[in-house]
Amino acid sequence: MAEGRWMVEVIVMPKEGVNDPQGEAIRGGLRALGYAGVRGVRAGKVIRVELNAAGADDARAAGAEMADRLLANPVIESFHVAAVAPVGVEA
């Protein structure tokens, strides 16, 4: 199968129990704006990688390997590949 271009979206979040000062600051700001029902916020990051792969499964596997090796710190963060989509294909 010919390789194609794929966009892989990886979501990286602090692990449960790990201090999240950015999430706490956001929570405090939301509560100060009157959102009293907000009980917790976890702030993470979304990383989009465009790559060449033989298909969606290969693109997803490559994204997971990249996250495991570099994009996420396994001591304090968890990750999951949230989306894989072909690039340049009109729906």
CATH architecture of residue range(s) 4-86: 2-Layer Sandwich (3.30)
pTM of the shown model:
0.86
Show me where the domains of the chain are located.
4-86
pLDDT of residue 89: 65
User: Is the C-alpha dihedral spanning 24, 27, 32, 38 positive or negative?
Assistant: negative
Please give the C-alpha separations between residue 65 and each of 39, 77, 81, in angstroms, as whole numbers.
33, 15, 10
Residues of the chain with pLDDT under 70: 1-2, 89-91
Residue 58 to residue 64: CA distance in whole angstroms = 10
pLDDT of residue 88: 84
